[in-house]
Amino acid sequence: MLAGGFGTRLRSVVAELPKALAPVDGQPFLRRQLESLAARGVDRFVLSLGHLAEQVQEAVAEWPLKERISCVIEPEPLGTGGAIAFALVQSRLDEVLVANGDTFLGGDLSAMLEPLGAEAVRMSVVTVPDRARFGGVSVDAEGYVERFLEKGEQGPGPINAGFYRVSAAALQGQPKAFSFETAVLPRLATERRLRAALIHGDFIDIGVPEDYHRYCRDHERLR
């Protein structure tokens, strides 16, 4: 779980809290997210922390799932890719599920729980009514990602939902700090090593106040 970002766009809402601890009806968003994932089959969590890490560690120590949660703290900002690679090394894992600490993805996750096959990364995608804010994803008939579409193109279609199954081998050859989304995913798509799994569930990125308030309003029905 990547939960080390600065949360600049959400600062007006969370003040001095890390955005993963943004309050939702009396509970931190991250706690709700972890409990939802646990209910759908994820049994162990590694939190990759950076900005205001101590606050997250103190909060986690009080949660019911605390025995299933461990934390790693980035020594410096590593970008999304560097954070994943660092957490893999620190946790001695070769394959992990990766989620963002400010994104809720509902629905059946069984397609993401299966071990990787020929692909180096499996990426969840969801269909949204307007992909202009997120950019789109082009997927071929066999489920492999062909390319990523630029932000700004309006209309319905599949987007990257920010939930991945990642092999350590996919990150080899990268510098210490790098972006998973720009340095790794497009390359794997070109190499036909990036597969998509369509998830039928709600998708909300709480990184902007509008969507944070939408999650707060709708959280009771989200699963």
Contact 117, 104 (CB under 8 A): no
| 216 φ, ψ (degrees, to nearest 5) | -60, -40
Are the C-beta atoms of 98 and 160 separated by less than 8 Å? no
Whole-number Å distance between alpha carbons of 178 and 161: 20
- How do beta strands 23-24 and 27-28 pair? antiparallel
Catalytic residue among 19, 66, 151, 176: 151
From 83, 94, 222, select the one nearest 165 (Cα to Cα): 94
Whether 151 is catalytic: yes
C-alpha span between 77 and 44 (Å, rounded): 24
Residue 97: beta bridge partners?
165
Asked whether the beta carbons of 210 and 13 are under 8 A apart, the reply is no
**Residues known to be catalytic:** 151
